[in-house]
Each structure stands twice: as structure tokens, then as C-alpha cells.
Amino acid sequence: MVAKVTQFPVENRSREVNLGRLEREEFDLLVVGGGIFGATAVWEATTRGLKAALVEATDFAHGSSAHSYKIIHGGIRYLQHADIPRVLSSARERSAFLRIAPHLCKPLPIMIPTYGWGKLGMPFLGAGCVVYDAITALRNIGITDPDRKIPSTKFLSKESVLQEFPHLDADGLTGACVFNDGRFYNPTRLVWAFIESAINDGAAAVNYLKADSLLREGNKICGVRATDQLCGRQFEVKAKCVLNTAGPWAERWLEEVTEGSYQAEGVYSRDACFVVKRLFKSEYTLAMQGESADPDALLAREKRHLFIAPWREYTLIGVWHKVTDVRPEDVTVGNEELAAYIEEINSAYPQLQLAVDDVLLWNAGLVPFGEEQSSEENLSYGKRSNLIDHAKSEGIENFISLIGLRYTMARGETEKALNLVQQKLSLPRCNYKSDFIKLHSATFNSFEECVKELEERLRNVCTEEVVRALAHNYGASAHRIADLINGDLTLAKVLPNTTTTRAELDYVIQNEMVESLADLVFRRTDIATGSNPGEEAIAESLKALAYAKGWDEQRSKRELNQVQLRFRQTQLLDKTA
């Protein structure tokens, strides 16, 4: 099914317009929580013709969604568990992202070196990859862009592996298996792409609006009482059904709004990875044996894999999991932990010789986990998201919670949640699937055609690197930024140590509900998503935002302090000094 292209007035995306709608109108569905699960939920609702709204207590995608490892998991690991339904659902969602958001997602080839003839060897691992290819044979249906199709497994010789990674241990090396998952270019931009598409189709969405309590009529929910975090004003948002997608905040919020009738039971893991300076130029992500095993796997290699993955001009390394009861807003990675992670990587790949100074920043967030807590070396991962019908658990009608597990599964899990919403509203279920409906920013035939069109618009004005970054982040909407640049060539100026133009600053500030400097540099643009660009780039960003918002010097200083605090919290080292 081909998505329609909607011509919409820009003011429909202003926070003030959306806030006014929330205060005046009644909605079929109100989504609480603006991470990837909330974003896909409000979009899913609008594709089904529901009148939907979303509220987020801080900024969109500020939590775990902003700190993922940026891999779109296709489910190959679940073969170890003989969990074929989970393999199929993961592969389906990977394909969905490649179809509906091809500018923000692409295939990711992953190389697993093979050693000997046992569980580390080519016959064992290769057989698993071939079986996986057969199970997911329909993975490329509807993917029209050839560069977004998932290839079949291929096998490399020992010599080819060492050409890609010459410092790998050659003793016993027999070659490698290469399978493909997917890679997110920018997870926070993808969250916004879903929200933007939902708004374009008639939804209302507002950040910095906290849902304080549920509105009830007897045992039925009819909305929430909310507080505007920017001015303190309270008002009611009316809705026939409420869906809680607040991620790691979901259970704490449930305890508050159900007045203690809900008892939190979830176990959460802090998943962490870190960004380093590019260490090699191979196109492959390298999978290395870590130190933890999977106690639930039926057919496992000796240890879980850690991944060394190219991402833009950086390398991502991870993921580490640690069961914790820390609050989501207090998630951190300590210096000793970071050093231990680097030691583990160096143990798996001794010639790499990473140092703490190589780390540009770390990313970490909370996700639901399994039941095994006795050892950090053998951890049982969470298996599926938790969909709760509170009519069954607490006797509260028209109230549902979806506590999401993995970024990859967000669209598929919210599809199930919306089926339940429609059932509660006595509406017929939809007869089509949203995994074939392109997002509004993806209305182009192929990504490379999108890039070429932008290159023509910005010929002799912007570099190829800047043009490609524009195409990735904004897709079909990048022509609006190109028009700004062509109207005023001074807006083609690129912020130091970034690919972000001044035109992008103006565009996102006016169109994407940017309310803080952190929103601008960490979530709406690439300015500081991978590293600290330096004082000049941050200062120019602050100047543009302060001018648009009318901030005084005191407010500007507070905003700058918040960004600098974020840099310090993530061990973000200034590599430009």
C-alpha cells in the first residue's frame, strides 16, 4: 500500500497548535509516552483512522529510545532458543523499517569469525545462518529500493577475513559467516518521523506535557489531567481510551495513577554501549565472543557476542547488560565500568588495544529483562514486551499499558496494542498492515534518488557529505531545507565539526517542537549525537535557538549548562581541543 503525500500547513506542527487541540478536543486514543513505542502507537492509530493524541513529560525520544545500539534485530539469535515465532516477528519488523523509513534504516552486514570445527566453527554457525535465511525467505517482499534489501548469508575465507580485520587472531581461524541485520542512522530522528507523520494525518502530539492522573467515569478511563511543564498550567485531556507507553517510567507512573492498586513487578536491565573514534574502514560489523552466556539458549555458542560496528563516522561497541533497580533518569555508566568494558573488548580482540581516551561518549537506557538475576555473567534476557489490559488486572476499563522491550519491535507490538484499543472501542479491526505504509518523509523511490535530487538542488553549495546527511535525517522533507538554503546562501554554512547546516537549525526550531538546547543538539539534529563538536558549534546552535525563543542571557546560560552536564555525564571528551 502506497502512502499518500499530504500537503499540510507548517503551523500544524507547532507546539501551541497541538496544545490547543489537546485542551479543546476529545480523542479516540491518548498515548502517554513519546519514545519509539509511543511514536509508533500514535502513528498506527492514525493509519487506522482513529483520532489520536500523544503526550510526553519531557522531550520525544529522550530516554532509552535515544540510547539504543542502533541495530535493527532480525531475530537470528532466537534460533538458539528454537523460538521460530520470535524469529519471524523480528524479521518482519526489520523489513518493515527498511520499507517505511529507508532514509533512516539500511542493511547491516555482520561478520562472525569462525574457529575450529565445534560450536565456534563454520559448519555449526553456517548451518544456522542457512536455516535462518530459509525461515526468513520472505524478508524482502515490498522493499523496492535494492539497497535496502537484506542479502542472503555469505561465507568468507580466512584470507578475506584478515584483509578486513588484519589484527584478528589468525590461530585456528577458518573464515567467517556474514549475515545481515539492519542499522538505524539516527534513532531519535526516526521517532520524530513517526510523530510527524501522525501529526500530518491529523494526530496531536505535545512534548513537555506530563500526565499527572487519570480521569475516570466510574471504572472507565476518559482521559488524563496534565501539567504543561513549561508554564505549570494544568488542564484535562479527554480520550475514550488511554495507552501507557512510558517505557522504563511506565510502572512507576502506573503505581501513581492507579493509587497503588498496580504493583510493579518488572525487572530492568541497563543496556550500555559506547562510541569511539573509527578504528577500521571495513563495511562489516565484527561480532566477537564476550564473557557472558545465555542460560536459556538451546543451541548456543560458548558466549554472547559483543559487536564492533561502523556507524556514520564513528564505531559503536556493545552491548553490555546489567540488572538494576536504578531510576531511568539516573542511569549512568561509571568510570570503573567503562574501563571494565574496554578490558573485555581488548580481551576478545587483543590487537585492538582500546583506551578510555578513545571513548567519545556512552549510551545507556533501561529495558525490561528476564528473571535471572543471580549472576551478571549468565543473564536471561527479557523475551517479549508486556501488554497489560488493566480491565483484567485492576478492573479499570479503557486503560492499556505497553511496556516495550526492543526498539526493533515497537511497530509490531503497538499493532497488537491498537487491536486491543479497537476492540475496547467496539471498532472493526483494520484490514491492512501499517508495515507497508511509508512514513511521510519516505515518499521517494530509492534513497540514492533522493540524494541525487538534493545534489541537483544544492549543486556547488553543499558538499556530498552534507547532502547525504540531509537526505538521511529528513528524507523527502529535505527539499524544504534545500529551499531555505537556495533562498539565502548564508544558511548553507555548516557548524564546525558537524554536517549540520544553519538552515537545519532554523527548520527544526520552527517545525519540530524544539524547547531546549538539548532537544536541538542531541535529538533533532546530528550536532552532538556521536561526539562533542566543540564550543563553537554549540554556541552557534544556542544563538539560533535563543533568538527564535526570545531567551535572555540567564536562560541561555541555563540551557548551555544542561548540555555541558550531559557531556560530562556521558564521559564525552572534547576531541576538538
Mean pLDDT of 291-319: 72
Q: What integer pLDDT is reported at residue 302 of this predicted model?
A: 52
Domain 65-185+268-368: give its CATH architecture. 2-Layer Sandwich (3.30)
Least confident of 28-37, 286-295, 476-485: 286-295
**In the predicted model, what is the mean pLDDT of residues 50-72?**
95
Q: Do domains 65-185+268-368 and 444-569 have the same CATH topology?
A: no
Provide the pLDDT for residue 119. Answer: 84
Strand partners, 244: 32, 401
Residue 565, pLDDT > 70, answer yes
Strands (E), 325-482: 359-368, 386-389, 399-403
Give the architecture (CATH level 2) of 444-569.
Orthogonal Bundle (1.10)
Averaged pLDDT of the chain? 90
- pLDDT higher than threshold 70 for residue 382: no
Question: If you average pLDDT over residues 20-49, what whole number do you get?
Answer: 97
Cα separation of 361 and 225, whole Å? 37
Q: How far apart are CA 367 and CA 217, in angstroms?
A: 33
Q: Where are the domains of the chain?
A: 10-64+188-266+384-431, 65-185+268-368, 444-569
pLDDT band at 375 (very low <50, low <70, confident <90, very high): very low
pLDDT reported for residue 225: 98
For range 336-344, the mean pLDDT: 90
pTM of this prediction?
Answer: 0.93
* pLDDT tier, 264 (very low <50, low <70, confident <90, very high otherwise): confident
Q: Is the pLDDT at 104 greater than 70, yes or no? A: yes
The whole-number pLDDT of residue 192 equals: 98
DSSP one-letter string for 313-367 = TEEEEEEEEEEE---GGG----HHHHHHHHHHHHHHSGGG---GGGEEEEEEEEE
Q: Mean pLDDT, to the nearest integer, of 58-86?
A: 92
Q: Are strands 52-55 and 268-277 parallel, antiparallel or unpaired?
A: unpaired
Q: What band does 383 get if pLDDT is binned at 50, 70 and 90?
A: low
Architecture of the structural domain at 10-64+188-266+384-431: 3-Layer(bba) Sandwich (3.50)
3-state secondary structure of 572: coil
Does residue 9 surpass a pLDDT of 70? no
